[in-house]
Structure 1
């Protein structure tokens, strides 16, 4: 019977052999180790109740001060754990899978927030290229918006993957292990050229080893996801965009939606973004329709004539009207109209 640490190593080798990405393998092993530390028993002895207790622990655990794991994060970790136990059962390291009856509920899909054209322009223009880090960040975000790249795809780029003369970038082993070549805009070209010829050369002076092949680097090596997310939040705050729900991935969503709004075919956007299923791309048309409805209500003269936004003044008038109706009802109760109508009829007869 193998020890827990040995099982984790075997699982890691299995994931590597299946062709999973490094980040995916790292996440799976992190969850497995977390479960092993919590349960403190050999995997052969794990039962259904242990899985439920671990789920409860994740629901209560704080990632940071007063911030708990989201439902999506908990679901993802339970999926990783489920993969681990399926592996153990398949290769007969355990006799029974304790998660065989465990149902992993699909979370409610959050509404995708996107930047408007004005907002994305404001965000990008806020990034000054007065420093080598500014040159790098402007090139990074311009390329992301231009080509709709995923965070991991862009950070994995090497200098040899960029072809400035043809204005194309080669994405190697993207999601689903697929390669693709995508174009980028003339604006992205200008900022990439500035960064490659100036900022990157300066940063390379402190970078050694394999990381000097990376396109986007810091003074410590290849740029990390956590660093670029912090830079994103910084520039978002500087640009004055305070809308909730916007994330680094929103730039990719915005690329797709803006292209569709300008008449690009769904098939083209699918190829650009590297979606395996076209239905994934079709979802962006819903965002486009919502934006169309908003624009219609704001600009169409026939719509504006009959559509007014509820204001504070309107609500105050509504409250006064309610009070007036109550007064009228009280008067009618005390002095019923039917009684006085009979008196009026008698007077007319006389």
Structure 2
């Protein structure tokens, strides 16, 4: 939705400070941009009703906003907002009001006692071992193999791949360090022998070909794009789409599907939920358990092993 105007100076300040609060908590850039936008939309609606103080907001106002979101058009894709998008708006309000409650700005949290219907997530798609092998066969460079090693072999999130530095990869010990994962959580990811070899070969044999302008950031970054700069999310996604095309696989797959896939394959290979949780950097087992709900009939046809 377009940037909605806020005329109340305190509301404007809440949106600015909420963004900074999310950054301090360790949320990634998309979150500390989208969630303040959700708050802005809600506060704009409050202004339209003449409500210019947080203390005047009641649970009824939250419920009315929820029903408004259910009927609001999606201005980018048409139709209505998806269930997950509506949940994202509500999550932003929960974070904001909890924060204000902690600060003592409000005495009563208007959203704390409300319960909303949960959006049912569709079953997570994964790539089969055969499809993973197809991707490796389609690699045209050592960098392509390193990309698969980072997002499939190590299960990194896209934002974690962006932040990966040379100092974070230890070839001898076969360890990869995620210095700042989701929620600023750090973790150490063990690399399989082949993954470590792929990353090492890219680093020593090919990385220097991409290094052009030796800025401080490009010297530190492990993965470089065509222009010699740190690989960003769009760079990784573009390269992955090309790999999918070469491998004749559906273009609907994304980098995050590689993370889903390795999680499922590791569980099928015998790792415990706790081990996979630590590998992925989840805060709780509930986040990891979603991978156990993949159809057993589907997984029964897969064989996990070395490529």
State the alpha-carbon separation in 1 of the partners of residues 131 and 276 from structure 2. 21
Task: State the 1:279 CA deviation.
Answer: 4.6
Residue correspondence of structure 1 range 267-282 to structure 2 within 5 A: 267-282=274-289
Count of aligned residue pairs for this structure pair = 289
* Larger Cα-atom Rg: 1
- 1:226 corresponding residue in structure 2: 234
State the alpha-carbon separation in 2 of the partners of residues 275 and 9 from structure 1. 29
Q: Is the 8 A contact 1:124 1:142 kept in 2?
A: no
- 1:114 corresponding residue in structure 2: 126
- 2:88 corresponding residue in structure 1: 76
Larger RCO of the pair (alpha carbons < 8 Å, separation 6+) = 2
Q: Is the 8 A contact 2:170 2:176 kept in 1?
A: yes
Q: Is the 8 A contact 2:157 2:256 kept in 1?
A: yes
Task: State the 1:260 CA deviation.
Answer: 2.9
Residue correspondence of structure 1 range 145-164 to structure 2 within 5 A: 145-164=152-171
Q: Is the 8 A contact 2:62 2:111 kept in 1?
A: no
Task: State the 1:49 CA deviation.
Answer: 4.4
Deviations for 1:147-196, whole angstroms, at most 9, x for unmatched residues?
22222222221110001222211112323433222222333233323332
Residue correspondence of structure 1 range 185-200 to structure 2 within 5 A: 185-200=192-207
- Between 52-61 and 110-119, report the one with greater CA deviation: 52-61
- TM-score if structure 1 supplies the norm length? 0.68
State the alpha-carbon separation in 2 of the partners of residues 84 and 271 from structure 1. 29
- 1:347 corresponding residue in structure 2: none
Residue correspondence of structure 1 range 288-327 to structure 2 within 5 A: 289-294=296-301
- 2:97 corresponding residue in structure 1: 85
Q: Is the 8 A contact 1:61 1:68 kept in 2?
A: yes
C-alpha RMSD of matched pairs (Å):
3.4
State the alpha-carbon separation in 1 of the partners of residues 243 and 46 from structure 2. 42
Runs of 4+ residues deviating >6 angstroms: none
Task: State the 1:119 CA deviation.
Answer: 0.8
Higher helix share: 1
State the alpha-carbon separation in 2 of the partners of residues 274 and 50 from structure 1. 33
Task: State the 1:221 CA deviation.
Answer: 3.8
- Between 117-126 and 150-159, report the one with greater CA deviation: 150-159
State the alpha-carbon separation in 2 of the partners of residues 69 and 224 from structure 1. 28
Q: Is the 8 A contact 1:146 1:255 kept in 2?
A: yes
2:23 is the counterpart of 1:11:
no
2:70 is the counterpart of 1:62:
no
- TM-score if structure 2 supplies the norm length? 0.76
State the alpha-carbon separation in 2 of the partners of residues 99 and 182 from structure 1. 38
Q: Which consecutive residues of structure 2, in runs of 5 or more, have no partner in the other structure?
A: 1-7, 303-307
Residue correspondence of structure 1 range 194-213 to structure 2 within 5 A: 194-206=201-213, 208-213=215-220
Cα distance, 1:227–1:31 mapped onto 2, change above 3 Å: farther
SS in 2 for 1:205: coil
